[in-house]
Amino acid sequence: DLPGALIATSIEPNEIPEYLLNTTGQVKVVKTSLQDNASHFSLAGVQMKFSMREKEGRYQIAKSGELGDWIIKTPSTKHAHVPLNEFTAMRLAELAGIDIPEIKLVELSSLDKLPPINLPDEKLAFAIKRFDRNDGQRIHMEDFAQVLVKYPHQKYDSANYEQIGKIIYQYTGDSLGNVQQFARRLLVNILLANGDAHLKNWSLIYPDTITPELSPAYDIVTTRVYMNDETKFALNLGKNKEWYKATFEHFQTWAEKAGIPWRAIKPHLEDTLDKARTLWPKALVELPMDEAHKRQLKEHWQALSNDFRVETDG
């Protein structure tokens, strides 16, 4: 149940092309055993992520050959209240004009047949609807590490936001709309203290199987609350990586270097900021983020430059 429309199938050792064996030196081909209908899961970052199927409010891990319709992230044993953090950050992003999939918090007790994993004393998991699935069909997508042909370990240091913006503006179907949305997300990541917007957390999706579009947002988390000394973007933006130094000028530099008309970007940044300043303080009170994390997020808002500061009552 891989991301997008990719399907991995097994082959016999004697079916591997000779040229592949010859290009990697001495290689011994070993046949691995696969269990049909076995449940699979992957570990990414600090949380377990499961592709699951939902039926009548209960969730089961998608078996071999099945397509899951939700990604479920269980609580982390390393960092407290990550599901509450991500749910809150994603909701705040949505209020600021960010396109997100359906999300919700689900009781751990509603997840059936989980493998034996360590879980903290928390009751909720984060659920995000798979936007690369539609009525049982795969929709292809690729993250920007794939687009730029980078290995996962290069996701922080091998590219910048200018390169991503340029590709979105030059090659996607709704080029202007997509890059305006991209700019909004860059600003929201600053406002939400998300330092993990690396290459693999931006994707293109192919709804018609041919034309790339910017995918809905995902993996927006207030990472600052877990790393007290974190003050930086994941990638460079307009020759800057520091949240607290970021201004509109850096966005203008970013747009100009990416070949994007600044006049088409600035109003969307201003609208994003207006929505955040107007809606976020009240919304944060009502959202389920841990109270200590809320205080840290509000402190972050106060530390931003005058261009991006968000005022609160306390």
Helix (H, G, I), strand (E, B) or coil at 187: helix
Residue 279 to residues 95, 266, 283: CA-CA distances in angstroms?
7, 20, 6
State how far the Cα of 47 lies from the Cα of 49, in Å rounded to an integer. Answer: 6
Contact 265, 185 (CB under 8 A): no
Q: How far apart are the first and last CA of the chain?
A: 45
Contact 174, 213 (CB under 8 A): yes
DSSP structure class, residue 121? S
The number of CA neighbours under 13 Å toward the Cβ of 136 is 2
Residue closest to 145 by CA, chosen among 136, 137, 154: 154
Which sequence positions are flagged as catalytic? 196
Q: What are the beta bridge partners of residue 58? A: 55
